[in-house]
Structure 1
Amino acid sequence: MLCKGPAVLEAPEQFTVLGLPVHLLNDYGNWLGSRLSQGIGTHVITLNAEMTIQAERHETLAQIIRQSELVIPDGAGIILYLRLRGQRRRRCPGIELAESLLQQAAQWGASCPVFFYGGAPGVAAQAVKNWQEQLPQLAIQGVTDGYISEEAQQELQHTLQKKQPRLILVGLGVPRQELWIAQHRHLCPQATWMGIGGSFDIWAGNKSRAPAWLGDNHLEWLYRLYQEPWRWRRMMALPHFALKALAQLRA
C-alpha cells in the first residue's frame, strides 16, 4: 500500500563539485517526500568536503555518489564552492532532511514504516524511543545497532526483505553507510535509503548540534571537532578540499 502524498515534482537541477554531482532544489523535503510517498526507490547522499575527498581515493564511493538519485549539499565547503560558481544556495543539513522525512512518515502512519540501523548498542533504540514520544503515529518497523555479528547481519537483511520498510536510516559513518546501502538497497526497492552519520547520537540525547550561529557562519565543523577531537585527522580533508576547489576555479 502506498502512502498518500504530493505528486512527484520536477527533476532537480544538477551541478558538479570536483567531479561529483550535487542536486539543487528549493525544497528537498517536499521533493523527497513525494518520492517516499509513492514508493520510488531513492538513495540520498549527504555530500560534504570530507566525503568529496574520500571519493577521490575510493572509486566505488565515487560511483555510488554519481548513481544516487539525490545528492544534497550538506557541508559548508560544498555551499561555498557553489556560491563561488554563482549558485546562491543554502546548505541542506542531512539531519534536518531526515527529520523532515520522519515527520512526513508519521503523518502516513502504518503505510510508511521506518527502520533504524546503526550507531552504538542502545543508541538507535533510544533515538526511536525519543522520536515516538514526539510522534506517536510514527511506525517503527525495526531497529538494529551497528555492532552486530555476521549472523545477525544476515538476519537483518532477511528482516528488511520480508518487512519492506519504506524509510531506512543508516548510521554507520562515511563511507561505510554509503557502501552498505548500495549493496543492499535491492532488498527494499521501493524504500528511501539515507546515510545519516551520527544523527542517532543527537536524537538519543548523547550529543548536541552546534549552536545556530555557528551553522549560519559555516563553522559547524568546528563544534564537531570540539566534541570529537579525535576527528582532527579526518578534518584535514577540509583544507585539501579548499585547495583543490580553488585550483579548479582558477582553471
Structure 2
Amino acid sequence: MTSNSNAQSSIDPHPFKVLGFAIHLLPDYVDWLSTRIAQHQGTHVVTLNAEMTMQAEQDLALADIIHRANLVVPDGSGIVLYLKLHGKTVRRCPGIELTETLLQTSARQPQPWSVFFYGGAPGVAAEAAEKLRDRFPRINIVGTQNGFLSEADTPLFLDRLRDLQPQIICVGLGVPRQEYWIAKHRHVAPNAVWIGVGGSFDIWADRKQRAPAWFCDNHLEWMYRLYQEPWRWRRMLALPQFAWRSILEKFRH
C-alpha cells in the first residue's frame, strides 16, 4: 500500500479486507499521519464507508484509487459493523473528526503545519478557515479555493499549490470526484497529506449541522444526513445492499 518500508512497519502488515478493499487498523491514525508529515512522506487518505465501497465495485477507477491509497480508514458505521461480524472490534473513524484532530494537532506544532482547503461552494472554504482560526488560533491555513474552478483556471491553481507546498491538503468535492482529483493532482505537492473531506467545509463554516451525538453513537448518522439532504436517497440504497453482502460474506467464511 505504500512504498516506504518504515511506513509499512508502522501500519498493520495485514490490512483487513472489507469486500476486497483493505482497511488499515491502527490505534492512532493522527499519530501515524503526524509521523508521515514529519518525514515528508506523501500520503493519500481515503475515508471508506459502505456507500463508497459499493460504488467502487462498479467503478474500477475508484476501486484502483482506494487500492493504491496509503491509508484507508473505517469512516462508515457499515464498515465497522462488517469488521465486527468478522471478529474485529474497532471504533469508527469519521473523516471529519480525523481531519479536525489532525488540524488541531497541526496548530500545536512548534512551527504549525501548513494547510490548504480546496472545494465547496464559493466562500464556504474561506468561511471554514476563519471559523477554524477562531477555534485554533495557531492554525496555519495558507490558502483556500472553492470547488467551482474552471478548466482554464485549473493550471494557475495547480501552480499555486506547487509554490505553496502545503503539508495538509483537504479536498471537499464529494465522492468520488475528490478521490479522482487527488489521484490526478497529488504530484504537485508530493510530500503532502491529501485527504478527501466531503462536506466538512459546510459544517466547519456553520452552513450545515452535523448529526447530534446520539445519532453518531448509534450508527444512525446516515439517517440524519438523509433528513438534511433527501436527494441522497438513491445513493443510500447502497447501505442495505452492503449489509446483505456483509452477512453473505460472514456465512461464506
TM-score calculated relative to the size of structure 1: 0.94
Determine the structure 1 residue equivalent to 2:10: 10
**Whole-angstrom CA distance in 1 between matches of 2:183 and 2:109:** 26
Determine the structure 2 residue equivalent to 1:197: 198
Please give the secondary structure, in 1, of the residue aligned with 2:149. Answer: coil
**Whole-angstrom CA distance in 1 between matches of 2:250 and 2:157:** 45
Shift in Å at residue 152 of structure 1?
A: 1.8
> Size of the alignment, in residue pairs?
245
Determine the structure 2 residue equivalent to 1:46: 47
Please give the secondary structure, in 1, of the residue aligned with 2:24. Answer: strand
Shift in Å at residue 82 of structure 1?
A: 0.1
Please give the secondary structure, in 2, of the residue aligned with 1:44. Answer: strand
Structure 1 residue ranges (4+ consecutive) displaced by more than 4 angstroms after TM superposition: none
**Structure 1 alignment gaps of length 5 or more:** 1-6
Contact 2:172–2:178 under 8 Å retained in 1: yes
- One-letter amino acid of the structure 2 residue matched with residue 226 of structure 1: Y
Q: Please tell me whether residue 160 in structure 1 is matched to residue 161 in structure 2.
A: yes
Q: Please tell me whether residue 117 in structure 1 is matched to residue 114 in structure 2.
A: no
Determine the structure 2 residue equivalent to 1:243: 244
Determine the structure 2 residue equivalent to 1:66: 67
**Whole-angstrom CA distance in 2 between matches of 1:84 and 1:106:** 38
Shift in Å at residue 109 of structure 1?
A: 6.4
- One-letter amino acid of the structure 2 residue matched with residue 10 of structure 1: S
1:26-54 per-position Cα deviation (integer Å, ceiling 9, x unaligned): 11111112212221110000000000011
Q: Please tell me whether residue 86 in structure 1 is matched to residue 82 in structure 2.
A: no
CA 1:130–1:111 in 2, change beyond 3 Å: closer, same or farther?
closer
Shift in Å at residue 108 of structure 1?
A: 2.8
1:134-174 per-position Cα deviation (integer Å, ceiling 9, x unaligned): 12211111100001111221111111111111000000000
Shift in Å at residue 211 of structure 1?
A: 1.1
Contact 1:116–1:143 under 8 Å retained in 2: yes
**Structure 2 alignment gaps of length 5 or more:** 1-5
TM-score calculated relative to the size of structure 2: 0.93
Please give the secondary structure, in 2, of the residue aligned with 1:89. Answer: coil
Determine the structure 2 residue equivalent to 1:134: 135
Determine the structure 2 residue equivalent to 1:145: 146
Determine the structure 1 residue equivalent to 2:214: 213
RMSD: 1.4
Determine the structure 2 residue equivalent to 1:3: none
Please give the secondary structure, in 2, of the residue aligned with 1:225. Answer: helix
**Whole-angstrom CA distance in 2 between matches of 1:249 and 1:135:** 44
- Percent identity at matched positions? 56
Determine the structure 2 residue equivalent to 1:99: 100
Of 195-204 and 20-29, more deviation after overlay is shown by: 20-29
